[in-house]
A and B are shown apart, each in its own frame.
Chain A
Amino acid sequence: MKPMSKIVRTVAASIGWFVFVFGIYVIVHGHLTPGGGFQGGAVMATGVALLIVAYGGWGAERCVGKERLPVFESAGLLTFIILAFGGACLGITFFFNFLANKGGLFGDKLPLGINPGIFNSAGVIPLMNMGVGMEVLAGISLILFAMFYGTKRVREGRCLVDNEEKEEDV
């Protein structure tokens, strides 16, 4: 896929930021609105898709930094699983929400029933959402890049199709 015209590239560069910002909004408000890590990450990955369309695969790879994506993915997944381990390490249970209602980070108490939404609540859930969001962004971007390379002509050596199917956000 060749880079498209200058108009398209400029528009994509400016709209791409909005897509990313909206994705981040969906991720961090995951505990208050219908959203969360997977949805926000998927939204952000559409931004990557936009870049691939506008700049071509090689250009988008330079913008995004493809070598960093596997590390990013692993970091997101590790955030998730280490937060899950946190409850067990404190001697309670695996996946125990050890930050909720403690008053610190994301620790405000929620009133029962209908409320206007308190951002600083829900304990480890927003943090887990962020981990999952990172993972999904990196994973789907890698899939998109892999598919981009897959559509290239057959070259010598191996093809670059990854198996990045580790969506774990149960």
Chain B
Amino acid sequence: MFYDIHYVTIVFLIALGIYAVMFQHNLIKIAIGIDILESGANLLLIVLGYRNGGVAPIFTMAPQGKSMVLPTPQALTLTAIVIGLATTALMLSLIVMLYRHYGTLDTREIRRLRG
């Protein structure tokens, strides 16, 4: 059980993110939910590459005789973080503009496009 604590955390983060996106009515909270979801996905990638007792995969001054964690998932995570940054920035910009037009952040009042 304790060995699988990362996976439990990942499932928890993803469930929390989906909950926030589906059931919250505040646009900022929805944005936070998406970020939590992204963190869950990033944590999954990092955990996949983890090896018990491994060191960071850098050759500069690496300790002798230790195993290294996998570098590929870390590169993937970095790319995913960059993409997440772009998405978040754009999402917040859109929220700012929506707030200017409607004067509210409540999704129940922003519904010009229904049906």
Contacts and interface: CB of A to CB of B under 8 A. Distances in A.
Interface string A146-170: 1100110010000101111111011
Nearest to A118: B60
A38 B60 contact: no
A165 B86 CA distance: 5
Given A150-B97, A169-B82, A117 B60 contact: yes
Interface residues of B, number: 21
B72 interface: no
B60 A147 contact: no
Nearest to A29: B60
A2 B87 CA distance: 29
Q: How large is the interface on A (under 10, 10 to 19, 20 to 34, 35 or more residues)?
A: 20 to 34
A114 B97 contact: no
A147 B96 CA distance: 8
| Residue of A116, A146, A159, A165 with most partner-chain B CB within 10 A | A165
Interface string B68-98: 0000000000110011011101101100110
B31 to A, nearest CB: 13
A91 interface: no
